[in-house]
Amino acid sequence: MKLILIRHGETIGNFNRINEGHLDGELSQLGAEQVNKLALRLKDEKIDVIYCSDLGRAKQTCNAIIENHLNIPVFYVEDLREKNIGDFTGKSCDCVDWNNLPNNAETHEQFKNRIVKLFDLVYKKYKNKTVLFVAHYYINSNLLSYLLKESKVYRQDNTCVNILEIKNNKVISSLINCTKHLK
């Protein structure tokens, strides 16, 4: 499988350093420009299927991509939503204590299990295909850590491209957090 992981374009919340979590979010003007450049970057990429977060900011990003890939199946799924941060949703990034998440936030274990379960299902179904995930910072970062068997946090800039080849339970990364299309 060739897995392409994309992060959505910059949102107004990203610009204002607001934790959006499960909020839809809205692309900023810069985010819309980033998404258009990303769509051009992916225009000639062979893609067999797209899985996209069902949140608005990811859908907006996906919509630009599918303009150049009209006959590709697209699945909007809750499992690609950003981490549910409960009462921290809508709060400033500067006012949050990440070591003390609210009781109504998704635990790291719940979050990781959600991502791994989705990946495993997609991998079984599309083992020899190219799959595009349009998702969020923590989704992509955690999926990269899981697949590459590393405990590091992978930086994920808006509209970054990550490409992994998965064959015989071996994962090779060819791109991580690539934003050359924005230059």
Q: Return per-residue pLDDT of the chain as tens, 183 residues.
A: 999 999 999 999 999 999 999 999 999 999 999 999 999 999 999 999 999 999 999 999 999 999 999 999 999 999 999 999 999 999 999 888 888 999 999 999 999 999 999 999 999 999 999 999 999 999 999 999 999 999 989 999 999 999 999 998 899 999 999 999 999
pLDDT at 169: 82
In which residue are the tokens 């608005």 written?
56
Q: What is the CA radius of gyration of the chain?
A: 16
Can you give the pTM of this predicted structure? Answer: 0.96
- Domains of the chain as residue ranges with CATH: 2-182 (3.40.50.1240)
Helix (H), strand (E) counts: the chain: 5, 6
Residue 168 confidence (pLDDT): 85
What pLDDT shows up at residue 134? 98
The tokens describing 132, both together, are 């595009």
**What is the pLDDT, as a whole number, of residue 120?**
96
Q: Burial letters for 15-30: b for 16+ Cβ neighbours within 10 Å, e otherwise? A: eeebbbbbbebebbeb
Distance of CA 61 to the CA centre of its chain: 10
pLDDT at 96: 85
Angle (CA) 128-133-137 rounded to 5° is 140
